[in-house]
């Protein structure tokens, strides 16, 4: 599985745990910040979090699998979220999603491109319904899309 | 001292306008003004959302209040040269009423805004959300100052008098909730702001958080003072990065100026606010699940009682309200509860923000007095249905809500009337549908959503919604049977009865209300093997006619490579591959693709 975990990232994790590890109710923020560091949540990281916080590994896995934000597998450098909320749905979001899949060469349930350039996900409403249909790439929103606009947008991140 | 500017250029920096290009307009405008030596007399202000995001980027020039739409960086020169220097309005950038195409130069004359009553949204789009001074300049923190001079019970009395009810969906009277929390035993209490906004088609909370963050802080501090809490949490969706950034900035400003922290405004009252980012689960909008999530656990609802007012965050009494609920509080304190209560209906006071989307000319956020009719919202504010199409239904209340047909357009909207009609106020998402919308597909869409978001704790919710979805899929795929409608109805009643939280209890609503008002749509799929709206893929197909000139454009746009053909030869669609997205038809320059 995947890439080697960099030593310096582990050091950052330890700093994070030293900072937050002993406070209550910080498991989710710790996981969120760890995912920012590593891009996903490798097993080694969860084990370390468990050791340092005293939370059983099973409980940590329970939380990680409950929330759609957390990922156990490596993810692309760019995260593309295709909105399938109501407003986007009635304005052709399905066509945008198929175009994204085609343009990224993703098949079936596959979400991440082979070169780890992109991960494609769906999301229900990003609060930009006035511009439906909408996609979000990393933290940027792109709206009023037609399938034709997809390639140009992805190219900006390639 | 700063010189008073003779003109203000407001550029919308909300999420909608930023993504359509306002980020480039602001520096361009500032640079050009500087070049001309006008940067002292004309002030450029970046604002939050004006609610008409579809027409963005928006630029508004004061003192005249001229409203420009879809402004591009290239238009900046013309606005400066003609408007700001010569005093001539730039006609071609003006807003036009969709019905008459007449240009409307003045912000206040635009029909979209005329029938609105902006109370919670009063500052959105009008002040710089990153400036505490501007919030204070717009009477900000006056409500807090007044509250701190009153007894906590008196503050609660004012909120009760206003008649304000929770805007997060349930509509529980806010003053009563505060009183329960105040009365609960315990010396440690919390205030929680629910900014999870999960309804897939609603964005009012986002706009307030981004456009007027101090208003939410002020509402929470007032709440903390009256219920006896010294700590607050804002639980905000991670999908709203700009809202989180603005809130962080506002909290820092308030801490630095003694509006938050110890001894607020010299009153001896202490209060701090933390932000928690959601982790992507719709059910975490439910209050007990949200609390579990703040505590770092799986966000599953638990039975109530005990209500959070008695046992909430870490078992302590906690008062949880929605963003829009808090947004109403500062003005209620400042102007008194009676003023708020003078708007609205017998049971539902004040205003409500609706997110107007779907097949409507003006998509956007509209704040209207309770008791307004759907017809006024859709036709007067929303500008009607585009492309001369016929209205079919309006979906209100998101995945818990229902669809209202034409004959209910004149219903005066409040919590009770909507529930009686089989819909729900919900968070305020309004999705307008025209004759090209299939109601079975709409019901399926919502059920797919709730099915996916069910936390899985109760069997009726987890398995029942899955079964209902299977049936709807079957109907849309052309394999529906005569038993399916009664089966849907019986599943719906067992899910409603056997679910712990409102997600399950209301999940069947979209199906029941479409069955109630649009049973013909279902029957047409089952009995006549037709989708009257031409949506369901099983009943429609795209074919290429002899008008095809072989230009190849359709082949290029098809997302699933369903089209074959040589340049200059007639092209062909493989019906087994085609997903009926319609992209080819839209692209063909020779109208050679038929849908049937
Ligand atoms: C599945 C589900 C999702 C909910 N989502 C939200 C939400 O996104 N925002 C919100 O304010 N309330 C939401 N609620 C309602 C909350 O449980 C709670 O009633 C509300 O935050 C109370 O605030 P209010 O009295 O100011 O409305 C949801 C309820 C359920 C059952
Ligand atoms: S009704 Fe559904 S979402 Fe609510 S607690 Fe039960 S299973 Fe979970
Ligand atoms: S776009 Fe139209 S004309 Fe061109 S190949 Fe396709 S069907 Fe033929
Ligand atoms: S409708 Fe969409 S999927 Fe079908 S052929 Fe046309 S472009 Fe391709
Ligand atoms: S439905 Fe897509 S942004 Fe709201
Ligand atoms: S973001 Fe500019 S009007 Fe909504």
Read off the tokens for B405: 């047909």
Asked if the C-beta of B137 comes within 8 angstroms of chain A's C-beta atoms, the answer is: no
**Is the beta carbon of B558 within 6 A of some atom in ligand 4?**
yes
Cβ count near B1 (within 10 Å)? 3
Which pLDDT belongs to residue B2? Answer: 52
Helix (H, G, I), strand (E, B), or coil: what is residue B412? strand
Query: Residue A84: closest CA among chain B residues belongs to which residue?
Result: B200
8 Å CB contact of B203 and A127: yes
Cβ neighbors of B254 (< 8 A, separation 6 or more) are: B132, B214, B217, B260, B261
CA of A2 from ligand 3 middle (Å) equals 44
Q: Which of B211, B355, B357, B432 to mutate to test the interface with A (most CBs of A within 10 A)?
A: B357
Compute the average pLDDT of residues A26-34: 93
pLDDT at B3: 59
Q: Does B429 touch chain A (CB under 8 A)?
A: yes
What is this model's ipTM? 0.87
Position B145 scores a pLDDT of: 97
For B455, the 3-state DSSP assignment is coil
Indicate the pTM of the whole model.
0.90
pLDDT for the residue numbered B279 = 86
Domain B7-114 has CATH 3.40.30.10: yes
Q: How many helices (H) and strands (E) does chain B have?
A: 25, 19
Q: Given a cut of 70, is residue A115 above it in pLDDT?
A: yes
The CATH number corresponding to B439-526 among 3.40.50.300, 1.10.490.10, 3.30.43.10, 1.20.1440.230 equals: 1.20.1440.230
Rounded CA gap, B34 and A155, in Å?
34
* Pocket probe mutation, ligand 6, options B12, B54, B110, B355, max atoms within 8 Å of Cβ: B12
Could you write out the DSSP letters of every residue in A114-141? TTSSEEEEEES--S-GGG-S-EEETTEE
Of A63, A95, A148, the CB nearest to B298: A63
Q: Which CATH superfamily is domain B132-341 in?
A: NADH-ubiquinone oxidoreductase 51kDa subunit (3.40.50.11540)
Q: Given this model, what pLDDT does residue B426 score?
A: 87
The Cα–Cα gap between B361 and B84 comes to 30
Q: Do B19 and A140 touch (CB under 8 A)?
A: yes
- Report CB contact under 8 Å: A68, B281: yes
Using a CB-CB distance cutoff of 8 angstroms, which residues of chain A are in contact with residue B53? 128, 130-131
Instruction: Going from the first residue of chain B to its last (596 residues), give the mean pLDDT of each consecutive group of 10, the final group possibly shorter.
Output: 77 89 92 93 92 90 92 94 93 88 85 91 93 95 97 98 94 97 96 93 91 97 98 94 95 97 96 94 94 95 94 97 98 96 95 92 92 95 92 92 94 93 89 92 93 94 96 94 96 96 95 96 93 85 91 90 92 88 88 87
Inspect the interface and report whether the beta carbons of B203 and A125 lie closer than 8 Å.
yes
The domain at B541-595 falls in which architecture?
Answer: 2-Layer Sandwich (3.30)
* CA gap B348, B73 in Å, rounded: 44
Average pLDDT (A66-88) is 91
Question: Which single residue is written with the structure tokens 């290429």?
Answer: B544
Q: Which atom of ligand 5 is nearest to the CA of A133?
A: 2
The rounded percent of chain A whose pLDDT value lies above 90 is: 61
Q: Which alpha helices (DSSP H) does B454-568 contain, by range?
A: 459, 465-476, 484-498, 502-506, 509-517, 519-527, 553-557
Per-residue pLDDT tens over the stretch A116-137: 999 999 988 887 888 889 999 9
Query: Could you tell me which CATH class the domain A78-155 is placed in?
Result: alpha beta
Q: Which atom of ligand 3 is nearest to the CA of B552?
A: 5
Judge whether residue A2 has pLDDT over 70.
Answer: no
| Residue B487, pLDDT score | 97
CB contact under 8 A, A143 and B19: yes
Hey, where are the domains in chain B? 7-114, 132-341, 351-434, 439-526, 541-595
């Amino acid at each position: 599985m995947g890439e080697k975990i960099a030593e310096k990232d582990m050091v950052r994790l330890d700093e994070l745990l030293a900072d937050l590890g002993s406070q209550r109710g910080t498991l989710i923020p710790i996981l969120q910040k760890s995912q920012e560091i590593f891009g996903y949540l490798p097993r080694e990281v969860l084990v370390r979090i468990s050791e340092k916080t005293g939370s059983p590994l099973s409980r940590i896995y329970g939380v990680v699998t409950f929330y759609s934000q957390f990922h156990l597998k490596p993810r692309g450098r760019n995260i593309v979220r295709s909105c399938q909320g109501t407003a986007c749905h009635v304005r052709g979001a399905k066509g945008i999603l198929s175009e994204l899949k085609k343009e990224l060469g993703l098949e079936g349930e596959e979400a991440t491109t082979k070169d780890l350039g992109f991960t494609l996900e769906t999301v229900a409403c990003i609060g930009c319904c006035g511009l439906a249909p909408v996609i979000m790439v990393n933290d940027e929103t792109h709206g009023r899309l037609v399938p034709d606009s997809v390639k140009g947008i992805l190219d900006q991140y390639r | 001292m700063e010189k008073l500017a003779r003109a203000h250029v407001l550029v919308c920096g909300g999420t909608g306008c930023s993504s359509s290009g306002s980020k480039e307009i602001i520096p361009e405008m500032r640079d050009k003004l500087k070049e001309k030596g006008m940067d002292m007399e004309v002030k450029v202000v970046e604002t939050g959302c004006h609610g008409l995001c579809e027409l963005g980027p928006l630029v508004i020039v004061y003192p005249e209040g001229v409203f420009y739409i879809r402004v591009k960086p290239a238009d900046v020169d013309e606005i400066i040269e003609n408007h700001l220097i010569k005093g001539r309005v730039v006609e071609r950038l003006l807003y036009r009423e969709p019905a008459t195409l007449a240009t409307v130069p003045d912000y206040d004359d635009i029909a979209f805004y005329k029938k609105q009553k902006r109370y919670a949204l009063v500052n959105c789009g009008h002040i710089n959300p990153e400036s505490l001074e501007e919030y204070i300049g717009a009477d900000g923190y006056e409500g807090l100052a007044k509250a701190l001079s009153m007894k906590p019970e008196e503050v609660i009395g004012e909120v009760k008098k206003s008649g304000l009810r929770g805007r997060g969906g349930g509509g529980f009277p806010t003053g009563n909730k505060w009183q329960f929390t105040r009365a609960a035993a315990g010396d440690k209490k919390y205030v929680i702001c629910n900014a999870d906004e999960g309804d897939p088609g609603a964005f009012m909370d986002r706009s307030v958080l981004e456009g007027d963050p101090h208003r939410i802080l002020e509402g929470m501090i007032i709440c903390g003072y009256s219920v006896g809490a010294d700590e607050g949490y804002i639980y905000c969706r991670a999908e709203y990065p700009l809202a989180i950034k603005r809130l962080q900035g506002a909290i820092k400003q308030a801490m630095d100026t003694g509006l938050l922290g110890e001894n607020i405004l010299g009153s001896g009252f202490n209060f701090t606010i933390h932000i928690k980012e959601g982790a992507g689960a719709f059910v975490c909008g439910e209050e007990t699940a949200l609390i579990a999530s703040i505590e770092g656990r799986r966000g599953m609802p638990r039975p109530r009682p005990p209500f959070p007012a008695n046992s909430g965050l870490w078992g302590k009494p906690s008062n949880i309200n929605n963003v829009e609920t808090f947004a109403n509080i500062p003005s209620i304190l400042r102007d008194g509860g009676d003023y708020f209560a003078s708007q609205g209906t017998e049971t539902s006071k004040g205003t409500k923000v609706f997110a107007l989307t779907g097949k409507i000319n003006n998509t956007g956020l509209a704040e209207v007095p309770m008791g307004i009719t759907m017809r006024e919202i859709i036709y007067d504010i929303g500008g009607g249905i585009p492309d001369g199409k016929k209205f079919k239904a309006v979906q209100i209340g998101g995945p818990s809500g229902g669809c209202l047909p034409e004959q209910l357009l004149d219903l005066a909207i409040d919590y009770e009337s909507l529930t009686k009609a089989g819909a729900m106020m919900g968070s305020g998402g309004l999705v307008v549908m025209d004759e090209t919308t299939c109601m079975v597909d709409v019901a399926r869409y919502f059920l797919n959503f709730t099915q996916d978001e069910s936390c899985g704790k109760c069997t009726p919710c987890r398995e029942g919604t899955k079964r209902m979805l299977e049936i709807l899929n079957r109907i849309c795929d052309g394999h529906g049977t005569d038993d399916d409608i009664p089966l849907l109805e019986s599943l719906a009643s067992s899910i409603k009865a056997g679910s712990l939280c409102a997600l399950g209890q209301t999940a069947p609503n979209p199906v029941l209300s479409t069955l109630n008002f649009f049973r013909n749509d279902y029957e047409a799929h089952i009995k006549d093997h037709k989708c009257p709206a031409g949506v369901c893929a099983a009943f429609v197909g795209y074919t290429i006619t002899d008008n095809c000139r072989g230009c190849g454009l359709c082949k290029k746009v098809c997302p699933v490579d369903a089209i074959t053909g040589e340049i200059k030869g007639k092209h062909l669609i493989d019906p087994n591959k085609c997903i009926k997205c319609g992209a080819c038809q839209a692209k063909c320059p020779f109208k050679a693709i038929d849908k049937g």
